Amino acid sequence: HREMLDSVMHCFGLRADADLNIMGKNQTLTDVTVKALKGLEGCFAEFRPDLVLVHGDTSTT
């Protein structure tokens, strides 16, 4: 997944404000979800966004 994301970001000239670095070997969907929520908590505290747009993925469907 990471390579696909990097390719699309580069193609559209996008740069992420944060990298949660979630992906790991042999992890469960629960592991992914926990890492995402913990990482997002820190991002929300740091960036204090006015709006958050969320796109679902395999751990949310």
- Distance of alpha carbon 29 from alpha carbon 37, whole angstroms: 12
Q: Who contacts 57 (Cβ-Cβ below 8 Å, separation ≥6)?
A: none
pLDDT at 57 over 80: no
User: Per-domain residue ranges for the chain?
Assistant: 2-47
The whole model's pTM is what? 0.69
pLDDT at 35 over 90: yes
What is the rounded average pLDDT of the residues 3-9?
Answer: 89
pLDDT at 23 over 90: no
Which residue, among 13, 61, 16, 19, has the nearest Cα to 36 in the 3D structure?
A: 19
Q: What's the mean per-residue pLDDT of the chain? A: 88
- Distance of alpha carbon 26 from alpha carbon 19, whole angstroms: 20
pLDDT of residue 53: 82
Which residue, among 17, 20, 22, has the nearest Cα to 47 in the 3D structure?
A: 17
